[in-house]
């Protein structure tokens, strides 16, 4: 006879029900706010995706009580939306089997039936306004009718502005390729006849930026060692890119008057002479091919090719197969050259020598210097001092009127 303390052992089998073959079974539910009463009945439903939709149908649960409806958020019961999978075990006593079912997890939201049944107008004052408009149309005087119609026209149609955000996104996408304000300002500065002036400068050296006239790479391309190693100014003058300038010879003597100048100042001086040589060739002929003028300036004047191509790009325009020095580009080249000459001459320029060098009448040269903000002395010298002269403001108004 068996001892009564011994318990009968049963063999229990564990069986996992495949999720693809299982019907709608147990589920785990999380309630966002309101927990339903225990007698609330729920149904598990399966969605039907539209034709051609590659997504699999997902299940959702739905239930209701007397005053509240409960429904799971769409799609959160799908296995693709879950980072883990819950398993619920159901014990079958008859067969001694524990069947593990994949249990989807749902987040259930609620809605109050009474609130859901209410219908609100998008604009509470719309009905009142319509009534006022109808009364004014029927019984109002002419002035009241006019005011009612004006108010009706001024009303905002809320349905018409629903897609404003979409419209703004479309405008942003279509205008993405347009230049920004900074890029537009840069292009405008590149095509202004006169160099850009700093109207808030505290000293004359801050009025014009050297980078707007000559690029640092262009200045570094000049080899100034032969000039520094020459013994006399006559020997140094033979090494300049332009030999026919009275101002260049006087400036060279000034630079070496108190000893050898620094290399950066000497490179700026070489660039100014290169601009003079460049300008003189284009004044003698209507236009040049890029290769031809490049070969002339490099062989006859020793100007580096980097400087030549930079001058061609900034101060000439393309016309068929030739580079042309148009009237606008001629003004631009001359004004930038004079701004660099002011920098090298400590912001005081003798106009008589420059008038001969640039083949400009004195009134025209005076007009250029006024546009650069200079004042004039009795001995025909242009001086850049602060505050700048009124000519620079007149220059700004003229450039705006051209645009």
Counts for the chain of helices (H) and strands (E), in that order: 16, 14
Q: What residues have CB less than 8 Å from 298, skipping those under 6 apart? A: 304, 305, 308
Closest CA to 263 of 219, 230, 301: 219
> Dihedral angle at the C-alpha atoms of 302, 237, 352, 308, nearest 10 degrees?
10
Nearest to 336 by CA among 149, 195, 134: 195
The pLDDT value recorded for residue 66 is 83
The pLDDT of residue 275? 92
Q: Residue 366: which residues within 8 A CB-CB, separation 6 or more?
A: 351, 376, 382
**Helix or strand run (H / E) with residue 361:** none
Exposure string for 104-130, b = 16+ CB within 10 A, e = fewer: bbbebebeeeeeeeeeeeeeeeeeeee
In our burial notation (b when 16+ CB lie closer than 10 A, e otherwise), range 18-29 reads eeeeeeeeebeb
pLDDT at 123: 47
105-112 and 322-324 as β-strands: parallel, antiparallel, unpaired? unpaired
402 in helix, strand or coil? helix
CA 350 to chain centre: 45
What is the SS3 assignment for 92? strand
- For each successive 10 residues of the chain (403 residues), what is the average pLDDT? 56 78 68 81 73 58 84 65 75 86 82 66 56 71 82 73 67 74 61 81 90 91 90 88 89 85 90 91 75 83 89 86 85 92 92 90 91 89 86 54 45
Residue 340, H or E segment: helix 327-344
Residue with tokens 């004052």: 125
What is the rounded distance in angstroms from the CA atom of residue 152 to the CA atom of residue 126? 10
């Amino acid at each position: 006879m068996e001892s009564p303390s011994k318990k009968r052992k049963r063999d229990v089998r564990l069986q996992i029900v495949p999720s693809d073959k299982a019907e709608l079974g147990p589920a785990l539910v999380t309630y966002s706010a309101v927990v339903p009463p225990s007698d609330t009945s729920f149904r598990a439903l399966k969605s039907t995706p539209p034709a051609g939709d590659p997504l699999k149908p997902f299940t959702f649960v739905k239930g209701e009580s007397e005053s509240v409806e409960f429904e799971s958020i769409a799609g959160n019961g799908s296995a693709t939306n879950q980072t883990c999978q819950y398993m619920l075990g159901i014990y079958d006593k008859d067969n001694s089997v524990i069947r593990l079912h994949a249990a989807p997890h749902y987040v259930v939201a609620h809605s109050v039936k009474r609130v859901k049944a209410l219908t609100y107008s998008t604009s509470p004052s719309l009905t009142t306004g319509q009534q006022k408009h109808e009364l004014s149309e029927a019984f109002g005087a002419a002035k009241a009718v006019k005011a009612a119609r004006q108010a009706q026209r001024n009303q905002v149609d809320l349905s018409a502005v629903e897609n404003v955000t979409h419209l703004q996104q479309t405008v942003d996408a279509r205008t993405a390729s347009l230049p920004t304000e900074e890029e537009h300002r840069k292009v405008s500065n590149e095509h202004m006849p006169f160099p850009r002036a700093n109207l808030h400068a505290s000293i004359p050296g801050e009025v014009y930026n050297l980078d707007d006239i000559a690029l640092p790479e262009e200045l570094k391309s000049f080899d100034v060692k032969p000039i520094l190693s020459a013994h006399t100014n006559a020997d140094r003058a033979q090494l300049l890119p332009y030999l026919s300038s009275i101002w260049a010879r006087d400036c060279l003597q000034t630079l070496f008057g108190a000893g050898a100048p620094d290399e950066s100042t000497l490179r700026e001086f070489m660039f100014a002479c290169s601009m003079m040589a460049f300008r003189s060739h284009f004044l003698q002929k209507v236009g040049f091919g890029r290769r031809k003028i490049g070969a002339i300036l490099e062989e006859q004047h020793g100007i580096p090719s980097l400087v030549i191509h930079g001058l061609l790009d900034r101060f000439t325009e393309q016309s068929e197969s030739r580079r042309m020095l148009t009237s606008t580009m001629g003004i631009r080249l001359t004004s930038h050259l004079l701004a660099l000459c002011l920098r090298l001459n400590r912001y005081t320029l003798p106009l008589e020598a420059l008038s001969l060098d640039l083949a400009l009448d004195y009134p025209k040269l005076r007009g250029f210097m006024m546009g650069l903000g200079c004042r004039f002395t009795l001995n025909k010298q242009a001086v850049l001092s602060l505050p700048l002269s009124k000519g620079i403001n007149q220059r700004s108004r003229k450039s705006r009127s051209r645009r």
